[in-house]
Amino acid sequence: MMTTIALIRNRAMKSIRRILTSSRNSSPFLSTPAHYGHAPSIASNSPKPRFNQHHPLQTHRIKGIAQEIFGLPSSNFAPLSMPFILITFNRDVSTFKVRNCSTSVENRGHDNNFERIYVQGGMNNVKPLVVESSHEDVTDERNLSGEVNVSVGKSKWEESEVEKEAWKLLQGAVVTYCGNPVGTVAANDPGDKLPLNYDQVFLRDFIPSALAFLLRGESEIVKNFLLHTLQLQSWEKTVDCYSPGQGLMPASFKVRTVALDEDKREEVLDPDFGESAIGRVAPVDSGLWWIILLRAYGKLTGDCSLQERADVQTGLKMILNLCLTDGFDMFPSLLVTDGSCMIDRRMGIHGHPLEIQALFYSALRCSREMLVVTEGTDHLIRAINNRLSALSFHIREYYWVDMKKMNEIYRYKTEEYSMDAINKFNIYPEQIPLWLMDWIPEEGGYLIGNLQPAHMDFRFFTLGNLWSIVSSLGTPRQNQATLNLIEAKWDDLVGHMPLKICYPALDNEEWRITTGSDPKNTPWSYHNGGSWPTLLWQFTLACIKMGRTELAQKAVALAEKRLPVDSWPEYYDTRTGKFIGKQARMYQTWTIAGFLTSKMLLKDPETASRLFWEEDYELLDICVCGLSKNGRKRCSRGAARSQILV
């Protein structure tokens, strides 16, 4: 027995010494290979980091270390069941916590039976997360409050005074963790005495900030953000004793400084999975945006090593497992509750909202590009392909509305029971709203906001439609028709400030029933028909993809005139976006970043092309129905393709 223990200890120590080759002060399991640069050192007087007590201190996930350290054959690790190796590094003792987290599409409960193996050492001086970065164009400067800002090199394009002001504000919103930038706060209004959670780093809010930094050649903050949020991925977090699924990404996180004793202080990353949010709703879109940003990082930097890391691959699989888990729902779209996306309050979008489906489709396409192909990922890649095919068909066929489709719905027969039913979801023609009949142009169309049995939400939701264009969820003809609609209804959807989050607003009894008489979502305000400048960058990307840059330039020019004068507000109110939102935060970071990203995308359309997807014709040939041996399943894909695909 003693011989066996000594053998294990010796093998572990040799493996650890072999890994610890670059620096004693770096974290070898979370830094990239040495040839990519040198990790920034942490000052000795810097506060030591740790994660919230719900998460293990310095949790690092590494693929394959168990085989090397413990001499286990690779066959011990079953396909699609890659374990996480959770490592806490101390000066004298290294504690290895091994958790088996399934990467199959089936959800598994938490496994709290960790095997602990102690190697010779002590319990002091926990090392912080260290991420390597390039310092060629980056310097640190401290603002008046003593916080570190990201200072980037000169832009390769000439900047206007408005852009220079926006960059200064964006740099002032940077949040640091142990001296390294990890994100930007939601809003940085010096006059706001009650910031609520606007002083946190939101995953969805950081996306335009990340793209702005990447387009300017600054990648360190984005890399740090991706790795730190991966560390916060759901493991043990609970909400009133209910546990979210493994793989859930937080809605936001905050860097807190806590006192250990009179002389020592410590920085803590405190995530919010929705347990503090209004309505207590978990964010479905956070993990999807994380995957999209991971791909964008690789596309814009040319560095794919981050995607290939074992911990990143494992985190990616966990998100996919959470999204691809089978349930009672028969649709290929994701079933979610109200408030689980950008519209994070009750607005009648529960079910299968378009925004989530467009992001889900994008995340699946990103994952198919980034997943490392092994025997263990074959099943997952096959599930992704099947879902992509089914989802694109479902959205293109059943969510699309134009004059032709409205005439079809107008003459629907109801109560059909058969495999050949035309009105598959039993939609009653009376659901077609009166405003829509005169509003939709002859040459335009759009994807409706939601589809459920006996219910179609005919509101125009901007983000879902724009991201359907960017991701090619819609067909080329549908994508052009959507931009035709925006151009024809410019006064309604853009007005004085781009862009409406949805159109039209709910009012009167419909507002009271649908929103629960929400005083913040009154008609033409906030989520209920308010105008959100942050949507500008998605609009710009969609216009560049479809060769309609003149529309984006027109919208950016409108924003450039008003945003700096109005102190970069979060949103605008009224039917045409004339007034600053009644409860809007000023110096909203994603408003600033969305403007900057739009300007840079227009200046460099070639780079912008790396951020969107073209039509994938292979998906059109994959039919999920054809994979079944059950002859009762019949598919209308052929007829649908002849009608809507061009």
546 within domain boundaries: no
224 within domain boundaries: yes
Most confident of 19-23, 606-610, 623-627, 634-638: 606-610
Measured CA to CA, the distance from residue 535 to residue 542 in angstroms comes to: 11
pLDDT on residue 242: 67
200 within domain boundaries: yes
102-106, 120-124, 343-347, 546-550: least confidently modelled range? 120-124
The pLDDT of 558-581, averaged and rounded, is: 98
528 within domain boundaries: no
Three-state secondary structure of 441-457? CCCCCEECCEEECCEEE
Measured CA to CA, the distance from residue 595 to residue 591 in angstroms comes to: 6
pLDDT band at 118 (very low <50, low <70, confident <90, very high): very low
263 within domain boundaries: yes
Q: How many domains does the chain have?
A: 1
Q: pLDDT digit string (tens) for 425-476?
A: 999 999 999 999 999 999 999 999 999 999 999 999 999 999 999 999 999 9
pLDDT on residue 236: 56
403 within domain boundaries: no
280 within domain boundaries: yes
Measured CA to CA, the distance from residue 518 to residue 533 in angstroms comes to: 22
Asked if pLDDT for residue 72 goes beyond 90, the answer is no
User: What is the residue-wise DSSP string for 29-96?
Assistant: TTSPPGGG--PPPPPTTSPEEEE-TTS-TT--B-SSHHHHHH---GGGS-TT-PPEEEEEE-SS-EEE
516 within domain boundaries: no
Look at 24 and 505; give whichever has higher pLDDT: 505
- With a pLDDT cut of 90, the percent of the chain lying above it is 62
Domain of residue 279: give its range.
Answer: 175-290
* pTM for the predicted model, two decimal places: 0.77
pLDDT on residue 139: 41
Q: Output the average pLDDT for the chain.
A: 79
The pLDDT of 80-86, averaged and rounded, is: 35
pLDDT band at 514 (very low <50, low <70, confident <90, very high): very high
CA dihedral 434, 440, 441, 443 (to 10 degrees): -140
pLDDT on residue 34: 36
Q: pLDDT digit string (tens) for 2-51?
A: 444 444 444 444 444 343 333 333 333 333 333 333 333 333 334 444 44
120-124, 172-176, 260-264: least confidently modelled range? 120-124
pLDDT band at 194 (very low <50, low <70, confident <90, very high): confident
pLDDT on residue 260: 84
Three-state secondary structure of 98-115? EECCCCCCCCCCCCCCCE
pLDDT band at 490 (very low <50, low <70, confident <90, very high): very high
